[in-house]
Structure 1
Amino acid sequence: MIELWLAAGLLLLVALAFLLIPVLRGRKAQAEEDRTALNVALYQERLAELQGQHASGALTAEQLQAGQDEAARELLDDTEGAAVERVSSLGKALPLIAALLVPVLGLGLYLHWGASDKVALVEQFAQAPKSVEEMTARLEQAVKVQPDSAEAWYFLGRTYMAQSRPADAAKAFEKAVGIAREPELLGQWAQALYFVGNKQWSAQLQSLTDEALQRDPQEVTSLGLLGIAAFEGQRFKEAVGYWRRLIAVLPADDPSRDALQGGIDRALEQLAAKGETLPNEPVAVAAATGAQLKVRVELAAKLKDQVQPGDSVFIFAKASAGPPMPLAVKRLTVADLPVEVTLADSDAMMPQLKLSNFPQVQLMARISRAGNATAGEWVAHGQAVASSSAELQQLTIDSPDK
């Protein structure tokens, strides 16, 4: 906020200059005008007095002429000398009041309709949080400033879950779903409600997970949650089915695969103890490297004089139909352009959101002088492409970021 107040102070000085300088010049001009008028009046009175003395015979023609010349010299001397200033209470008070009210009024209007809270929020997120509590406080402030941001509510809910606050997380995810009814958000909301309800399954949880899987059959949170609920309910065949579907969409190096396989093995043991069998089918997984998209990003020639080498460049992929959060991100600088990069599952911001989990994605590139991945000065929007595409994708940054 320091920059904001410094800018406001500079604007105040500019306002004072524009308002007071013309007034001071006007006062000086008025004083000079009053002084000249006074001297002319005195000169005219002196001439009238000399004319009267000449008419009465007290002065000769030569003395009259000499007196007139002397009066003229005095008029010139008085005009060039010091003047008596003209006092005006209006001229002193009104400019000062106006100079103070203009910036104060402008600041008041800015605080009422402006975005000072968003400026403060950006400054806060520019620095790494020192604790989970500080991050939680920042996210709580973010949803106050941007209550229509599903992404802000989502991250706040995830933070609450990390702090074992499922009730608060459920409220945050409910807000996010109200803004964007995405499969990932539905799954997270259901998971939070599951823990709030003391791990008791309910019709609401079934409805949320069914909707999530209908929108995205590979939604990982819903698959994992349904597997847990089925195992707790001793529906071991269902548990194995859900967990095998989940393993099938996880990258080969995902650490949760071992835990899921352990759950599947225990479910199979329970089935064997009951005399039931279920084929231990091998899981079809993606290649070890997962999905990979090759992207070439370049800068339009018309923008080369409008950017700086140190400006941040964010290259990312978002699901065409899915959560609003980026699936994979690379951060470079303008000095690196043009550049070819590979966006892969290893670039995922969250383990649950990987390129290989979504059939189609949209590629984007953004230049941000402030280093903000969500807002900047210039942007490039690509067409929707298959996440499994092996072709080199082209992005040209050439449009203002709105």
Structure 2
Amino acid sequence: MQSHPRIDVNPIYLFFFVALFLCAIVVFVFWRVMSKASSVATEVNFKDGVMSNVAVFQEQLAELKKEYGQGTLSETEYELSHAELTERLMQDSQTHSEIKNASAPASSWIGLAWGFLILIPIASVGFYMLIGQPLTVDPQVVAAMQGDDQLTPERLQSMAQDLEKKLSAQPDNAEGWVMLARVQRAREAFDLADVAMQKALALTKTNDLLIERAEILAQKNSGQFEGEPWAIIRGVLQSEPNNGNALLLAGSASFAQGQYKDALSYWLRVQAILPADSPDAAPLADAIAQARQKLGAPITTGKITGRVSIAKELLTQTSPQDTVFIYATAVEGSRMPLAVIKTTVAQLPYDFLLDDNSTMNPQFKLSSQSEVTVRARISKTGNAIPQPGDLTATASPVKVAQSPKLQLIISGP
């Protein structure tokens, strides 16, 4: 896995840069999709901060596919827009909520709270987010920003003016005010962003919008959370103790103020309600590690060592060239491997090392888990997907930080 040099940046400036960049990306995708779909979608009013008419989203998806097929949209634009629409559609149905009793929608959870969570305490986030390092952005995002639809200051200003014109005719459109607030925020017009967000809150007062306003207020105050931002965060947590956005922002605010113990406490509460297979698990684990490091605690590194062997009576059922997969998965939840290596039967017994360098996806790292299941599996076909009759060995649960050298003996299916 490619490594990235760490860049020391003042956390306040880093906070500004990332929050604005993420906001700009959200604005870009939403604006692109809505403008392209306007010819086929009827006028929709928004309530409670989300779109309730699923049929409209289906029309927009159909139009998106049509324009992609006609070549109007590039592949990158199509993928970004499709992902945004799908995410919003999932929010409407509320059938795939990741966190029980937590009201944070996926787009708000990732696009807003993570910007504060990771990019205040960590100067480099690698591959986890739309931004890795402040100076190294995702190639897809770069590609999306190139061409005729670049988010220039002039374009953002034009978008703000268009929204203001529409809202003058539809002052009760809560979603429109939220969108205007985000556009103004991307323009660094934080006073105007706050005004727009307050109008949205007057129409639909949700905890997630309150947390977004706390973010805007902190940006107005040069990254300082004292006063109203903290009051909003505490108020949300009092009414909804497991609100993911509020916990994340509380942790980030605490970290920015040097209150690392409090930051760790808030983030551990998020970790307790976040599914192990969530794409947010790895960056959250990194943030927790940074807080622990500030407190003088050693950083947990994901590493498991051991030896894989095969029972002698099974040797006749295998061939020397048969593939042996050695991998770790979360104890519960997704079975996506957190780390995987492979060898052959001819190499058994085989001493192995599983760590973050053997991850398949940087969003699912071994170090993001405290306990895992480790398996060794012999495949005659070399297929990574388990097949009936595969010979296996399993150890579970295995502590990632303190595991002794494992002994995995393949002794049966």
The normalised TM-score by structure 2 is 0.37
* Higher helix residue share: 1
* Rg (Cα) greater in structure: 1
Larger relative CO (CA 8 A, sep 6+): 1 or 2? 2
Normalising by structure 1, we get a TM-score of 0.38
